[in-house]
Amino acid sequence: MPDYKPSERGSTRCGRSVFYWGKRTYIMGVINVSPDSFSGDGLADVEEAVARAGRLASEGADIIDIGGESTRPASTPISTDQELRRVIPVAEKIAEQISVPLSIDTYKLEVARQALDAGVNMINDIWGFKKEPRLAELASKKGVPIVLMSNQRGSTCRDIMSAVISDLRRAIEQALDAGVTWENIIIDPGIGFGKTQEQNLEVLQRLEELQALDRPILVGSSRKSFIGWVLDLTPEQRSSEVAFVQPGDQRLEGTAAAIAIGIAKGADIVRVHDVKEMARVCKMSDALVRGM
């Protein structure tokens, strides 16, 4: 594995954009076309999704991540055909109308393949090849970046960061063996995926340890349940005055804090639902951490 220092991670081309790692924090805006999204922002209409993509781009998103299957705990998996029906029309329309690069949030080979053909520029694999190893070959063949997440669902870990680092190292080596170029590999510790609430906090507290892997770090802490857990904002704990609000809507300030700490600890990309507000958090955090 190349021996790069964190400040020498180089750059990654994604669609028409080039991400220069270490210069600033890049923002991944989220578009969920799954009706059961954990954050309550699922969209069912193509035009509505395209409009949202335009808004995210205008608010400062550097890349837009499209997902068609809910990744919340205990969610019901959907078929490949159903996921294709949800994401491909949206991806095609957004790619036609918006110049911001697109990512597909999927672990299914055929969904990723058709999304790339529809104009998507990046694969975001929440299983880091555990569900579908052939995604590595697809990313290599298409020459696109791939986000590799460490997902602990179905397993238990005592030392969470050791488990995350070992899992990501395995995924990186698998990508390289398949021919994915070093600059096209991005890592994600997988906050909220198979970790206890205490472990989610620990991942953020120890995020800088991932720099040993010398790849850009994506952090997806936006609206996650550990924020509601810390702030006593889980649905059953809400007062009747705010009971009608979707779960994510009460986690804005907690998300901002988690993102600011994540940037201070080495995050290069943050995946967020509230782009306008978090773009400001990133800009301020970058001024403090990286300098103006």
Query: Which active-site residues does the annotation give?
Result: 224, 271
Instruction: Give the three-class secondary structure for 197.
Output: helix
Q: What's the CA gap between 124 and 106, in Å, rounded?
A: 6
Q: What's the CA gap between 291 and 270, in Å, rounded?
A: 18
State the alpha helices, DSSP H only, in the chain. 46-59, 80-97, 109-117, 134-142, 160-177, 197-205, 225-230, 252-264, 275-289
Which residues partner with 187 through β-bridges?
Answer: 148, 217
Residue 289, CA distances (Å) to 6, 10, 12, 90 in order? 14, 19, 21, 36
Which residues partner with 30 through β-bridges?
Answer: 65
